[in-house]
Amino acid sequence: MTQPLVLGIETSCDDTACAVLDGDGRVLSSVVSSQLAAHRPYGGVVPEIASREHLANWPAVSGEALARAGVSLHDIEVVAATRGPGLVGALLVGLSIGKAIAFAGRHPFHAVHHLEGHLYSPFLRPPGDPQPPEPMPDRFVGLVLSGGHSSLFAVEEGAVSTIAETRDDAIGEVFDKVGKRLGLPYPQGPKVDELAERGTPGAQRFPVSRFGETLDFSYSGLKSQALLEIERLERALGPIDLGAGGEPPEQVLDLLAAFRESAVGQVLDRLERLHERRPFSLLAVSGGAAANRLLRRQLPVWAERHGVDLRLVPLVYSGDNAAMIAHAALLRHRRGLVDDPFAAEAESRIPI
């Protein structure tokens, strides 16, 4: 275990997370407590409930993270918490706790951008892996696919610039909305992915959307087409409610397979066009939707064909977690950066 020990805190949405990293970036522990049960009756995340749950969960989550790392709060030397983007009330809980711990212990504090956490997460090794992460490369292209973002970034010597952004719905969000329309419980994304595995996309096709000449992502068109198609199916089959259990009709499985193929197809389209315009040699893919099975099968094939080195986020860090926040903070710390805990504020929307 090398110095300094970093405590990471993440409470931007509905996961209460705490992690401990050592100075080389080894993940000593990463604990994520999901609030799924609390939000499920509402079909999505309820901000007020998220804040309360973070407060209630924090003692157990942080206690577990410290215990698994085999350290106490007194051993912590650097503190990091997510400052945004996210739900302000939820962010405030983790950020305030982080500020308090940093202030009380006179530790350097880092208010971390949530997307910066995702962006560097493909370089982390699984918790308990004795190997430190590989040194951060000087330049790479970062692809973040989550519930709030579908974005491409260029990272050069620690400076991050945006290549392409979400124009409307983010990729994870449309998986959730299509699943919700079919009666699936929150979070619908993983379940839609699972059902799509059993369908055949050949029966119908959704075109891959583009946003003019830009590389920006646009998923609202695909969402509307999928919802219309569900309506059409319901006229033929009667109401569809996959939440009620039972075997989903084959047409629904095929529809989900076609939907997923187009969603993932858009990601590959953007990569292909970016690579044509300015070839790159290293691609790091992260975010909750980077858990998508089709994406995880197709990306290595695409990368191999283009001679691109691929870092696909380990599944343990694809969804929101605090290891990625502590890691981003460690990278900032090494560059001599630090934040004033009194000045750091939670913000729902902030550019990277």
CA distances from 185 to 43, 87, 173, 324 (A): 6, 21, 14, 27
By the rule CB under 6 A, 10 interacts with ligand KG4: no
| 177-206 residues near ligand KG4, rule: CB under 6 A | 187, 189-190, 193
CA dihedral (132, 135, 137, 138) positive or negative: positive
Distance CA(245)–CA(136), nearest Å, equals 46
- Which helix (H) or strand (E) is 113 found in, with range? strand 109-113
Q: Which residue is listed with tokens 């609202």? A: 220
Distance CA(227)–CA(182), nearest Å, equals 9
By the rule CB under 6 A, 172 interacts with ligand KG4: yes
Q: Which of 53, 229, 320, 339 binds ligand KG4 (CB under 6 A)?
A: 320
CB under 5 to 8 A by kind: which of Zn ion, ligand KG4, none does 319 bind? ligand KG4
Point out which residues bind Zn ion (CB under 5 A): 146, 320
CB under 5 to 8 A by kind: which of ligand KG4, Zn ion, none does 175 bind? ligand KG4
CB under 5 to 8 A by kind: which of Zn ion, ligand KG4, none does 190 bind? ligand KG4
| Burial of 75: CB neighbours in 10 Å, binned 0-12, 13-18, 19+ | middle
CB under 5 to 8 A by kind: which of Zn ion, ligand KG4, none does 193 bind? ligand KG4
CB under 5 to 8 A by kind: which of ligand KG4, Zn ion, none does 120 bind? none
Q: Which of 291, 303, 323, 324 binds ligand KG4 (CB under 6 A)?
A: 291
**Contact between 79 and 65 (Cβ < 8 Å):** no
Per-residue mark of binding to ligand KG4, 25-54 (x: CB under 6 A): ------------------------------
Tell me whether residue 5 or residue 171 sits nearer to Zn ion (CB atom). 171
- Convert 50-64 to b/e letters by CB count within 10 Å (16 or more is b): bbbbbeebbeebbee
Per-residue mark of binding to ligand KG4, 68-107 (x: CB under 6 A): ----------------------------------------
> Minimum distance from CB of 213 to ligand KG4 (Å)?
27
Among candidate residues 124, 17, 83, the one with its CA nearest the CA of residue 350: 83
What single-letter DSSP state applies at residue 56? Answer: H
By the rule CB under 6 A, 248 interacts with ligand KG4: no
Q: Which of 22, 169, 173, 261 binds ligand KG4 (CB under 6 A)?
A: 173
Strands 150-156 and 139-145 come out as antiparallel
By the rule CB under 6 A, 288 interacts with ligand KG4: yes
Neighbours of 257 (CB within 10 A): 21
Q: Which residues bind ligand KG4 (CB under 6 A)?
A: 13, 146-148, 172-173, 175-176, 187, 189-190, 193, 287-289, 291-292, 319-320
